[in-house]
Chain A
Amino acid sequence: MSNNFQLERERSSLSSFPDSKSLFSKLKSGLLPYAFLTPTLIVVTLFFFIPLVMVFILSFTNLDMTNFGILKWWQPANWTLDNYVKIFTNRFFPRILNNTLMYVSMTLIFFNVGMALVIALITTNINRRVGFTFRLIWLMCRLTPVVVYIMMWKALAGPAPMGVINKHILGPLGIGTGEYLLNTNPWLFIILVNGFIGASFGMIIFSSAIEAIPKDYMIASKVDGASTWQTIRYITIPMIKWPLLFVTTYQTLSLLTSFEQILLLTNGGPGLYETEVWSLTAYHRAFSSYFGNTQWGYGSAWAVILVIIGIIMAIIYLRVFKFNELIQEPKIDQL
Chain B
Amino acid sequence: MEVRLKNLSKHFGKVKAVNNFNLEINDGEFVALLGPSGCGKTTTLLMIAGIYKPTAGGIYFGDKIVNEVLPKDRKIGMVFQSYALYPHMTVFDNITFPLKLRKIPKEERERRVKEVAKLVQIEELLDRKPAQLSGGQQQRVAVCRALIKKPDILLLDEPLSNLDAKLRTLMRAELKRLQRKLGITTIFVTHDQVEAMTMSDKIALLQLGKLQQYSSSDELYNRPVNLFVAGFIGSPPMNFIDVSLGQSEEQFLLKNKDITIEIPSKIGKFTQSHSQDNKIVLGIRPEDIKIDHKKGEEAEVYVVEPMGMQVLVTVKLGNLQIKVLTTPPFTKKMGEKVKLHFNVNKIHLFDKNTEKSLLLN
Do A and B bind?
Answer: yes
How far, in angstroms, from A328 to B145 measured CA to CA in the complex?
Answer: 24
How far, in angstroms, from A238 to B71 measured CA to CA in the complex?
Answer: 22
Asked if B170 lies at the interface with its beta carbon under 8 angstroms from chain A, I say no
Q: Are B145 and A224 in contact (CB under 8 A)?
A: yes
Interface contacts (Cβ under 8 Å), in number, total 58
Asked if A315 lies at the interface with its beta carbon under 8 angstroms from chain B, I say no
Number of interface residues of A (CB under 8 A): 19
For the complex formed, measure the closest distance between the CB of A215 and the CB atoms of chain B, giving whole angstroms: 9
Of residues 113 through 151 on chain B, the ones whose CB sits less than 8 Å from some CB of chain A are: 131, 145, 149
For the complex formed, measure the closest distance between the CB of A331 and the CB atoms of chain B, giving whole angstroms: 9
Name the contact of A216 in the complex, choosing from B76, B82, B145 (C-beta under 8 A). Answer: B82
Indicate with 1 or 0, residue by residue over A199-240, a CB within 8 angstroms of chain B CB atoms. Answer: 000000000000000101101111111110010001100110
Q: Are A223 and B102 in contact (CB under 8 A)?
A: no
In the complex, which of the residues A214, A224, A234 has the most CB atoms of chain B within 10 Å of its own CB atom? A224
For the complex formed, measure the closest distance between the CB of B131 and the CB atoms of chain A, giving whole angstroms: 6
Name the contact of A226 in the complex, choosing from B78, B82, B84, B101 (C-beta under 8 A). Answer: B101
Q: Are B72 and A225 in contact (CB under 8 A)?
A: yes
Q: Are B76 and A223 in contact (CB under 8 A)?
A: yes
Q: Are B149 and A214 in contact (CB under 8 A)?
A: no
How far, in angstroms, from A231 to B36 measured CA to CA in the complex?
Answer: 33
Residues of A with C-beta under 8 A to B97? 221, 224, 226, 234
Of residues 293 through 316 on chain A, the ones whose CB sits less than 8 Å from some CB of chain B are: none
Of residues 44 through 89 on chain B, the ones whose CB sits less than 8 Å from some CB of chain A are: 46, 49-51, 71-72, 76-78, 80, 82, 84, 86-89
Q: Are B84 and A225 in contact (CB under 8 A)?
A: no
Residues of A with C-beta under 8 A to B101? 224-226, 230, 234
A216 with B86: in contact, given A225-B72, A328-B131 (CB under 8 Å)?
no
Q: Are A214 and B82 in contact (CB under 8 A)?
A: yes
How far, in angstroms, from A234 to B99 measured CA to CA in the complex?
Answer: 13
B46 nearest CB neighbor, chain A only = A219
How far, in angstroms, from A173 to B231 measured CA to CA in the complex?
Answer: 76
Q: Are A219 and B80 in contact (CB under 8 A)?
A: yes
Residues of B with C-beta under 8 A to A238? 86, 88-89
Of residues 113 through 163 on chain A, the ones whose CB sits less than 8 Å from some CB of chain B are: none
Asked if B98 lies at the interface with its beta carbon under 8 angstroms from chain A, I say yes
Residues of A with C-beta under 8 A to B88? 238-239, 241
For the complex formed, measure the closest distance between the CB of B104 and the CB atoms of chain A, giving whole angstroms: 11
Q: Are B82 and A219 in contact (CB under 8 A)?
A: no
For the complex formed, measure the closest distance between the CB of B143 and the CB atoms of chain A, giving whole angstroms: 13
Pull 11 A–B residue pairs with CB atoms less than 8 Å apart, ordered by A. A214-B84, A219-B80, A223-B71, A223-B77, A223-B78, A224-B145, A225-B98, A225-B149, A226-B101, A234-B97, A239-B87
Shortest 10 CB-CB distances between A and B: which pairs?
A225-B72, A216-B84, A220-B84, A224-B98, A238-B88, A225-B101, A222-B71, A223-B78, A216-B82, A216-B80
